[in-house]
Amino acid sequence: MKFTIEHLAKGFEQKEVLKDIDFTFEDGKIYGLLGRNGAGKTTLFNCLNRDIKADRGNFYIEENGQRRKVKADDIGYVLSTPTVPEFLTGREFLKFFIDINESAITDKKSIDEYFDYMSIAPKDRDKLLKDYSHGMKNKMQMLVNVIAKPNILLLDEPLTSLDVVVAEEMKQMLRTLKDDCIIIFSTHILDLALDLCDDIVLLSHGELELVEKVNLDNKDFKDKIIETLREDGNE
Amino acid sequence: MNKTLKISFALKNTYRVNSILYALKQTLLIKMILPSALYGVKGLKIFANILSVIWEVISFFLGKLIYLGCIYFIIADGYNGFFPRRELFLHMLLFLTIIGAFLNTNLFNPSKEKYYAVFLMRMDAKQYVLVNYGYAVLKVIIGFLLIMLMMRSLLDLPVWLCVMLPFSIAGLKLFVAATSLWDYEKRGFSYNENKLGKFLWAFVALMIILAGGLPAVGLAVPQIVSTSLFIAFVPLGLIGVLKVIRFNEYKAVFKDLFAQTQPFEDKKTQALRKQSEKYISADTSITSNRKGFEYLNELFIKRHKNILWSASKNIAYACVVLSVGMIIASYLFPEIKENVNHLILNWLPYFVFIMYIINRGTGFTQALFINCDHSLLTYPFYKQPGMILKLFAVRLREIMKINALPAAVIGTGMSLLLFVTGGTDNVLNYAVIIVSILCMSAFFSVHYLTIYYLMQPYNAASEIKSGTYQLVKVATYLVCYYMIQVRMPTIVFGTLTIVFCILYCIVACVLVYRLAPKTFRLRQ
């Protein structure tokens, strides 16, 4: 499976944030999306998730040589601040989600199996989500995004505010998920990107650009990334 | 001192100018022609500056004019004839001045300007207070002086009183401020005019009752007493001035003040969200046997029963009591029957405003957004057209039920009342009253849910970000308010209402089905 974005552009009034996004992502990989503050990472995600309308361009999925439009359930989007419906319990949220997405879920498991998978303790499963901690809300958000196995998973700074144990659990989970899906992981932490991601993509000058690692050790690779990003800021 | 004066005025002015520009930018039509970097455009800035200066000048007088004007209308209209006008005016002014000294202090108002100046810009707190508070007190004196002299003959005041009263009002304010400062020195706790304790609220209520209630039962503070008190406020004010000048702990006072209340919107919306979360019932026995959106909706309604249903039920109870009371009254005092009968047959338009007031539309959509859609709208599955429309239908049914309860009670009550007060030649009237009031309630249900779905005014921080949405709300209010003036036979107005409401509901639902899949998004 491939996910191709063609000439995507989005501006706000006079400022063109995304100029010409032209890139193909492939499954089995985690892509680290890096960019300076204000480079347009969230705008790109919002366009792909159809929260805002792009000015130009389109994106599609290619499966077995066949192109098709991206449907809403192709995409999972995990935000840095977890948003979960506070008035439901963890169990109720999962039940609701599974009810709604019944047709899209291929290997349905029991709700408790899902909780086990995310290491959410039995005592917490029937609590209202408003009483969940930040990390637990984050896990819930991640969970409903992976249950339906979306083809594309967009992650906007998802690990930044998690404690080390949860962050490690999440990283492990993402590594197991990547086989059948494309994960695009936006972050400001370079070391995290290098540790977790297979490819590094830079968003600079409103365009996406793959950073080739060929023959570079980690330090040189890091320097190269920072140098490229610095040029972007000096414009 | 001079510098403090300049800086703090420049700060306040910049803040106000940018607010004006921001407000302009939020308006639908103007938004399109304004450049994005409008805060730097010179012409616009000058324009906003002029508005800002005009506003500053108006603010000297406008509030006082409205305030004294209101007192005048109350004494001229309400209690005319019982007392000499001057006595009544001084009576009211006395109690209202006491309330104002506590509720409108300026010094103890946790305003944004104060926070910016003292904490962000690190201005000297004492200098800031002396300049700004001094200016505020001066505004009180000059504003009242001018307006009182202007209204002298209306209020029947001698010139010396017109000159003295502004100083008395400012004097009491200063004295109350000074006592609050003393209190701070003693207890280390700052007075906050936006956060009154139970006792102060009770005190304010008592003052209001004394101001308005005493004259109603034929009592008023004798003129000699009120005048003497006003004279006494002047030297008290001097004591206040001394304390305000000598006090040195303003920064600490403000620190405490801002620890109690947050002046910023994002903090306020956080507080709003906290508040909304509190409405979620923690009752673990609440469950649902349904599936999908019906499941979500049922749990939402059950867990929010308190905010959604309690107001509606209370209004319904009150209407039952009122209707029964009116029916009993019309038996006890048969002479009112004719009037009541006439009212019911001609005053139906008035009920548009009443239904507007009691409908729960905005409360419902706010709870929906903050506790439910705010989070779920970030999930792609929730935004699929079919899902949005399914949930819209479920929700419309719920809000209609909530609003229909009081409407049914009011409609039935009015029909019964019409019957016992002599009935009507046209039997259709009974049905028209009940159906048209139910239609009005349905109209408001559809209206608020529709504008919520079509404009989705909130952003991710739960702030309302749509100027158009606000405009529609104001327009709704104005139209409903205008209906108060309309007099039309009930049968005519009722039939028109029914037809209008049905048409509106059809159009609104068609619009939602066409557009909501595109418009029902989180605002970015």
pLDDT, residue B280, reads 81
Cβ distance B280 to A100 less than 8 Å, yes or no, reads: no
Mutate to test the interface with A, among B379, B462, B520 (most CBs of A within 10 A): B379
Q: Where are the alpha helices (DSSP H) in A64-157?
A: 90-100, 111-117, 134-147
Determine which of A18, A86, A140 to mutate to test the interface with B (most B C-beta atoms within 10 Å): A86
In a domain, B229, yes or no: yes
> Which of A87, A91, A154 has the highest number of chain B CBs within 10 A, making it the mutation to test binding with B?
A87
pLDDT tier for residue B124 given thresholds of 50, 70 and 90 = confident
Question: Which of A10, A100, A142 to mutate to test binding with chain B, by most B CBs within 10 Å of its CB?
Answer: A100
Candidate from A13, A87, A126 with C-beta closest to B371: A87
Q: Which residues contact A160 (CB under 8 A, 6 or more apart)?
A: A80, A187, A188, A189
Does residue B241 have a pLDDT over 90? yes
Q: For residue B464, is pLDDT > 90? A: no
Rounded distance between C-alpha atoms, residue B136 and residue B132, angstroms: 6
The mean per-residue pLDDT over the stretch B325-349 comes to: 87
What pLDDT score was predicted for residue B320?
93
CA angle A122, A141, A28 (to 5 degrees): 110
pLDDT of B378 over the 60 cut: yes
Query: Which residues in chain A have their CB less than 8 angstroms from residue B280's CB?
Result: 86-87, 128, 130
Q: Report the domain count for chain B.
A: 2
Strand A75-78 and strand A182-186: the pairing is: unpaired
| DSSP track, A20-79 | EEEEEEETT-EEEEE--TTSSHHHHHHHHTTSS--SEEEEEEEETTEEEEPPGGGEEEE-
End position of a domain, from candidates B261, B280, B305: B261
- Whether B359 and B459 map to the same domain: the answer is yes
* Residue of B501, B519, B375 whose CA lies nearest to B453: B519
Confirm or reject contact between B39 and chain A (CB < 8 A).
Answer: no
Mean pLDDT of chain B: 86
Asked if residue B334 and residue B242 are part of one domain, the reply reads no
* Segment B315-334 mean pLDDT: 90
DSSP for A174-227 reads HHHHGGGSEEEEE-S-HHHHHHH-SEEEEEETTEEEEPP-TT--HHHHHHHHHH
Q: Does A99 touch chain B (CB under 8 A)?
A: yes
Residues B295 and B444 in one domain: yes
Task: Residue A142: count other Cβ atoms within 10 Å of its Cβ.
Answer: 24
For residue B7, the model assigns a pLDDT of: 81
CA B41, CA A46: separation in Å to the nearest integer?
Answer: 30
Which range of residues forms the domain containing residue B209?
60-261
Residues 183-202 of A with CB under 8 A from B: none
Higher pLDDT, B350 or B8: B350
Cα–Cα distances in angstroms (integers) from residue A82 to residues A118, A121, B148, B262, B391, in the given order: 15, 19, 58, 24, 23
Tell whether B247 and B348 lie within a shared domain.
no
- Whether B36 sits inside 8 A of A12 (CB atoms) is yes
Domain boundary among B226, B261, B296: B261
pLDDT score, position B333: 85
Q: What is the pLDDT of residues B47-66, one digit of tens each?
A: 888 888 888 888 888 889 99
Q: What angle do CA B325, B328, B333 make, to 5 degrees?
A: 115
Considering the domain architecture, whether residues B415 and B367 belong to the same structural domain is answered as yes
> Which chain B residue lies closest to A75 (C-alpha atoms)?
B380
Residues of chain B with C-beta less than 8 angstroms from the C-beta of A75: 380
Q: What residues are paired with A199 via a beta bridge?
A: A31
pTM for the complete prediction? 0.68
Minimal C-alpha gap between A167 and chain B (Å): 22
Note whether residue B235 is domain-resident.
yes
For B283, nearest residue in chain A (alpha carbons):
A128
A93 touches chain B (CB under 8 A): no
Q: How far apart are CA B142 and CA B148, in angstroms?
A: 10
Residues of A in contact with B36 (CB under 8 A): 12-15
Mind telling me how many Å the CA of A99 is from chain B's nearest CA?
5
For residues B156 and B302, state if they share a domain. no
Tokens of B207: 């003052």
DSSP label at residue A122: G
Q: For residue A13, which residues of chain B lie inside 8 Å, CB to CB?
A: 35-36
**B167 within domain boundaries:** yes
User: Of B187, B184, B196, B193, which Cα lies nearest the Cα of B252?
Assistant: B184
Highest mean pLDDT among A210-214, B12-16, B139-143, B422-426: B139-143
Is the pLDDT score of B233 beyond 90?
Answer: yes
> Which of B272, B295, B375, B515 is the mutation pick for testing A, counting most A CBs within 10 A?
B375
Identify the burial level of A145 via C-beta atoms within 10 angstroms of its C-beta, where 0-12 means exposed, 13-18 middle and 19 or more buried.
Answer: buried
Residue B281, in any domain of the structure: no
| Domain final residue, candidates B261, B279, B306 | B261
B481 and B350 fall within a common domain: yes
Give a yes or no: residue B42 inside a domain. Answer: no
Q: pLDDT band for B29, please (50, 70, 90 cuts).
A: low
Q: Is the pLDDT confidence value at B467 over 90?
A: no
End-to-end CA distance of chain B: 44
B285 touches chain A (CB under 8 A): no
Handedness of CA B43, B44, B49, B54 (dihedral sign): positive
What's the pLDDT score for residue A8?
A: 93
pLDDT confidence of residue A53: 84
Q: Does residue B315 sit in the same domain as residue B229?
A: no
Partner B contacted by A134 (CB < 8 A)? no
- CA distance to partner chain A, nearest, from residue B203 (Å): 38
Closest chain B CA to residue A144: B379
Q: What percent of chain B has pLDDT over 70?
A: 93
Chain A nearest CA to B303, separation (Å): 7
Query: So what's the pLDDT on residue A182?
Result: 93
Phi and psi at A128, nearest 5°, equal -65, 145
The tokens for A232 are: 């972007």
Q: Which of A50, A101, A126 sits opposite B381 (nearest CB)?
A: A101
Q: Is B418 on the interface with A (CB under 8 A)?
A: no
Query: B175, B239 in Cβ contact below 8 A?
Result: yes
**Nearest to residue A210, comparing CAs of A8, A1, A29, A31?**
A31
Tell me, yes or no, if B255 comes closer than 8 A to chain A by beta carbon: no
More confident residue, B496 or A73: B496
When pLDDT is averaged across residues B296-302 and rounded to a whole number, the result is: 88
- CA B191, distance to chain mean position in Å, is 23
- Cβ-Cβ contacts under 8 Å between A and B: the total is 76
A219/B contact by beta carbon, under 8 A: no
Of A73, A75, A84, the CB nearest to B375: A84
Q: Are residues B72 and B151 in contact, defined by beta-carbon separation less than 8 angstroms?
A: yes
Lowest mean pLDDT: which of B193-197, B272-276, B411-415?
A: B272-276
Contact present, B461 and B524 (Cβ < 8 Å) = no
Give the residue with greater pLDDT, B93 vs B274: B93
pLDDT band at B317 (very low <50, low <70, confident <90, very high): very high
A-proximal residues of B, 138-167, CB under 8 Å: none
pLDDT band at residue B28 using 50, 70 and 90 as cut-offs: low
C-alpha distances out from residue B110 to A72, B93, B257, B261, B273, Å: 46, 26, 6, 7, 21
Contact A100 B381 (CB under 8 A): yes
pLDDT band at B80 (very low <50, low <70, confident <90, very high): low
Question: In chain A, which residues have pLDDT < 70?
Answer: 232-235
Chain A CB contacts of B282 below 8 Å: 128
pLDDT at B81 over 70: no
Most B-contacting residue of A12, A49, A88 (CB-CB within 10 A), to test interface: A88
Record the tokens describing residue A43, joined without a space: 């705008």
Instruction: Tell whether B421 is covered by a domain.
Output: yes
CA-nearest residue to B299 within chain A is A88
Chain A residues within an 8 Å CB radius of B35: 13-14
B178 and B115 in one domain?
A: yes
d(CA A85, nearest CA chain B) in Å:
5
- Top pLDDT among B288 and B217 is at B288
The answer on B311 and B228 residing in a single domain is no
Does the beta carbon of B248 lie under 8 angstroms from any beta carbon of chain A?
Answer: no
Element (H, E) at A154: strand A152-156
Chosen for mutation from B297, B370, B378 (greatest number of chain A CBs closer than 10 Å) is: B378
Give residue-wise pLDDT tens across range B127-142: 889 888 999 999 999 9
Statement: residue B257 has pLDDT above 90: no
pLDDT band, very low/low/confident/very high, at B359 (cuts 50, 70, 90): confident
| Chain B environment of A76 (Cβ under 8 Å) | 380
Report the gap between the CA of B14 and the closest CA in chain A (Å): 24
Pairing status of strand A15-26 against strand A2-12: antiparallel
Reported as half-sphere exposure (CB side, CA atoms, 13 A), residue A121 has a value of 8
Same domain, B336 and B251: no
What confidence score (pLDDT) does residue B411 get? 93
Task: Give the three-class secondary structure for B382.
Answer: helix
Closest partner residue to B296 (CB to CB) among A49, A96, A144 is A96
Which one has a higher pLDDT value, A78 or B82? A78
pLDDT at residue B507 is higher than 90: yes
Does residue B280 form part of some domain?
no
How high is the pLDDT of residue A33?
93
**Residue-level pLDDT at B236:** 95
Same domain, B253 and B368: no
Q: What is the pLDDT of residue A51?
A: 79
Q: What is the mean pLDDT of residues B463-467?
A: 77
* Chain A environment of B460 (Cβ under 8 Å): 83
Contact B352, B440 (CB under 8 A): yes
Q: How far is B511 from chain A (nearest CA, A)?
A: 20
Whether B326 maps to a domain, the answer reads yes
Whether B68 has a pLDDT exceeding 60, the answer reads yes
Q: How far does A141 lie from chain B, in Å, by closest CA?
A: 9
